[in-house]
Structure formats: C-alpha cells, structure tokens
Amino acid sequence: MSDPLANADYRSTLRAAASELSRAKKVLAITGAGISADSGLPTYRGKGGLYDESITDDGVAIEEALSIGMLRLRPEVTWKHLLHIAQACEGRAPNAGHRALAQMERHFPHFNLLTQNVDGLHHAAGSRKLIEIHGDLRELLCETCGYQMATPAPSTLDSPPVCPCCAATLRPGIVLFGEALPRKAVGDLEAVFEQGVDFVMIIGTSAGFPYIAGPVAQAARAGLPTLEINPARTEVSYLVRHRLPMRAAEALPALWALIEPQRCPAPLPAF
C-alpha cells in the first residue's frame, strides 16, 4: 500500500493544520465510524458497511429496525440487529487514531471529544473528556423496573435478552431512532461551546446529523481553523479550512507527531 504522506499536497495540508492546532487551547474533535475502521469494524453506510442495503432481510429499513418503536413492538427484530453491531465490536482494540486523540486530550488545556460511535474504543484508548452522543454498548437497562447490568459477551445473550427481575425486554444504553439524544451528552456539548473552542476537527463521519455538522459550520462561520480527516467527501468538506483524504489511523498519528515534540522542549544545556 502506498504511503499517502508521499503526496506533497497532503504533507503541506498536514503541516498547516498542525501549525494551527499547536497554537490552540480549546479543541473539539468529532468522530464517526470511520475512525474504527482500522480496528476492523465496518462502517455503517456505504459499500461494505453494516447497512449498505436500503432494506433489511426483515423487510424494513435499518432505521426502522433500530427504532424505539420497533424495540417495543417487535423486540426480536431490533435485538437481531443490535447483536449484529455488538458482535462486530466484540474483541476489537483501539487503533493508532484512537490513541492519538487520547494523547492529545492530555496535551491541550481544553480538549473534548464528541463521538457518534457506540463501540467504546475511545474509552478503551484512554479518552475521558468524551461526549458519547449516541450512548454506548457497555450497559443493558430495563425500562420497566430500572435494573441495570454490564453488557455480557454478545454470544452469551439471548435475543431479545430478558430482565432477571421483571422479565421485561432489556435494552442497551444507546440512542435508538425515534429517541431524543441523552440530556447529559447534549448539556456537555453545550458547555463546550459556552467555554469556547478555537480548533474543530471532524474525523471519519459523513456528518449527516445537524448536531455533528453544526459545530463545524459554526466554527467555519467564525473564521476558526477546521480540519476534516476522511477518505470520502462529506456534508462538511466544502466548509473546512484543511482537508486530509486519509484514514484516521494514518492522519492522526502523523498530526500528533508534528505537535508532540513541542510538549517537552529540549532541556537547557548545563553550565
């Protein structure tokens, strides 16, 4: 496989983005399924994605299969697809892109990571200033009696899983179609903008949701530096100042390598 950084335009873009990022104090990073592709997870949309067909084999669109209405009406359909996602995530480890973002968090005075992903890989990589806007797969909940439990291995789960306390259907701690976003996650994102940002990067997402594209558009309108890392063009490609059509696991470590030496300047010579 050829090295994308052999391309002079990519190297120039990387240096320009790194120069502006190195001066930033308040950074917001936004990620989607693309950052986990190098961990072996398929993206959700597009060729080869988990949902590259418009209609599932249950005869409904994936958005309907993974909706709160379907969970309550036909939980076996929703859980069939939830287990498909959980099995795709099982045994996966963070990649160099996840790790680079976790390192950046420890470097910048204010660094927040907004992710659409429910795979838990940012958390596993060490990111803590994490806004999981779609929830995560680490916990199962009962909406009837309030029972909660850590999610066991997908291979051990019944479909649908049943609450041991009241026999109602359990659900994962993720946002299903037709549900509001988690109140805490929305509040955390609002707090990020109240404190201000001076660099926004968006990585591995088509930016199809307004709460994902919105922060990029807001930063661009304010004249702030923005960076997109994505092999494909997206809803926000025309807005960003810098664009690297690369995989996240290639671009983010290269970006961090240009910033990281500035953390620990060489010691003064002894006299």
* CA dist., res. 144 & res. 51, Å (int): 30
> Which residues have C-beta within 8 Å of that of residue 80, sequence separation ≥ 6?
58, 65, 159
pLDDT digits (tens, 9 = 90+) for 98-157: 999 999 999 999 999 999 999 999 999 999 999 999 998 889 999 999 999 999 888 888
Q: Across all residues in the chain, what is the average pLDDT? A: 89
* pTM score, whole prediction: 0.89
pLDDT at residue 265, as a whole number? 43
Closest CA to 36 of 155, 142, 116: 116
Read off the amino acid at residue 243.
R
User: Residue 168: exposed, middle, or buried by beta-carbon count in 10 A (0-12, 13-18, 19+)?
Assistant: middle
* CA dist., res. 182 & res. 189, Å (int): 11
| Position 271 confidence tier, pLDDT thresholds 50, 70, 90 | very low
| Position 50 confidence tier, pLDDT thresholds 50, 70, 90 | low
Structural domains in the chain, CATH included, are 1-41+93-134+179-263 (3.40.50.1220), 42-91+137-174 (3.30.1600.10)
pLDDT at residue 262, as a whole number? 56
Residues tagged active-site: 134
